[in-house]
Amino acid sequence: MTRTLAAICGRRTRWLATSAAVSLVLVGTVPAFAQDANTGARLNKVEAEVRALQRKVFPGGDGKFFEPQINAAPTPTPTPGVPSSTPLTDVLTRMDAVEAQMAQLTAQVEQNTNRINQLEAKLAAAAPPVNDFVPGPGAAPAPAAPTGTTVPALTPSPVAATPRPAPTPAAPRPAAPSNSRIDAVKAIVKPQSADAADDEYSYGFRLWEAKFYPEAQQQLKLYLEKYPKHARASFGRNLLGRAYLDDGNPGEAAKWFLQNFQTDKRGDRASDSLLYLAVSMKQLKDTKRACIALAEFSETYAAEAAGRLAGLYNTTRNGLTCS
């Protein structure tokens, strides 16, 4: 009888111990599963943000975004007979992949920032001095003396023994436009639409297209002064440089090309301005600055150099010896 009671008590004791152990396991597992689910959700969010950051850091040359060649390490296939990875091991693996991607993105951003700084420094050095610019034929003449005003004659000093050189004659004033030119300019119709800013730019383009370069310069300057933030401002600055370049004034043209590129490097005509800056420097016989502009153009706008602007790019390179 005593042994029977002892056996019953032993079995009951083992049953209670087993129940307590199962309870501890269940209690410990629930928080672990909850923690793993919470961590997985956070990791999914971080990975999504990393992918979005990649798309913004690596834009395509045509304005579209594409996925970079930075991907998380592939998940290894478990070998038969080897225990599968635990949830904690999966979390650590994904964290390592996210940290590696963030490190590569940080390095790429630093490289891009450094490259942009070097580009701006080179272009600043490539800008021609202001004193080298020759005013174009469309520049305003010096004001004449008022009618009826008599300039008193200068009486030479009796002490002066050395004759002074004759003064340099003033540059001749540009001839007034002929009646036929005025009539031809008036024949260029100015658009009249709901977008007044676009009308001003389009009128300047029509004047340039008709080879009325001084009139186009005046009209495009007016457009840029009135609407500096207009959607076609990049077109306007580039076209103003073209109007000076086609008018035989590469020095003044270079100023507008450089300004357009520096104002908005992603502008619609920033690539054109950088290439035409090289053209202007080539015409000014400044080979060094022409080569700098060409090198920056081929690196920054590789798609344009091989596509839309390939002909002008190859023509500009011909005859230049760039180291």
Percent of the chain having pLDDT more than 70? 59
How far CA 162 is from CA of 55, 154, 155, 203, in Å, comes to: 77, 16, 15, 58
Mean pLDDT of the region 188-201: 94
Q: What is the mean pLDDT of the chain?
A: 73
Q: Which residues contact 91 (CB under 8 A, 6 or more apart)?
A: 36, 39, 40, 43
* pTM over 0.75, yes/no: no
Query: Is the pLDDT reported for residue 112 higher than 70?
Result: yes
Cβ atoms 43, 94 nearer than 8 A: yes
Mean pLDDT of the region 115-142: 56
Instruction: Give the residue among 204, 227, 228, 229 at the shortest CA–CA distance from 217.
Output: 204
16 pLDDT tier (thresholds 50, 70, 90): very low
* pLDDT, position 58: 52
Q: Which residues contact 203 (CB under 8 A, 6 or more apart)?
A: 188, 190, 191, 219
Query: Is the pLDDT reported for residue 180 higher than 70?
Result: yes
Residue whose token pair is 């153009």: 297
Instruction: Give the residue among 127, 125, 171, 138 at the shortest CA–CA distance from 284.
Output: 127
* pLDDT, position 153: 37
Query: Is the pLDDT reported for residue 68 higher than 70?
Result: no
Query: What are the pLDDT digits (tens) for 220-229?
Result: 999 999 999 9
| CB burial string 203-228: b at 16+ within 10 A, e below | bbbbbbeeebbbbbbbbbeebbeebe
41 pLDDT tier (thresholds 50, 70, 90): confident
Query: Is the pLDDT reported for residue 131 higher than 50?
Result: no
Query: Is the pLDDT reported for residue 50 higher than 50?
Result: yes
Structural element, H or E, at residue 25: helix 2-57
Q: Which domains does the chain have, with CATH numbers?
A: 42-58+88-113 (no CATH), 195-323 (1.25.40.10)
Mean pLDDT of the region 59-77: 52
Cβ neighbours, 10 Å, residue 240: 27
Query: What are the pLDDT digits (tens) for 151-171?
Result: 333 333 333 344 444 555 555
Alpha-carbon span 7 to 266, nearest angstrom: 87
The overall longest dimension of the chain from CA atoms, in Å, is: 156
Query: What are the pLDDT digits (tens) for 251-305?
Result: 999 999 999 999 999 999 999 999 999 999 999 999 999 999 999 999 999 999 9
* pLDDT, position 52: 65
Query: Is the pLDDT reported for residue 57 higher than 60?
Result: no
Query: Is the pLDDT reported for residue 56 higher than 70?
Result: no
Alpha-carbon span 218 to 157, nearest angstrom: 47
Q: Which residues contact 235 (CB under 8 A, 6 or more apart)?
A: 201, 268, 269
* pLDDT, position 271: 96
* pLDDT, position 152: 37
Instruction: Give the residue among 95, 108, 92 at the shortest CA–CA distance from 54.
Output: 108
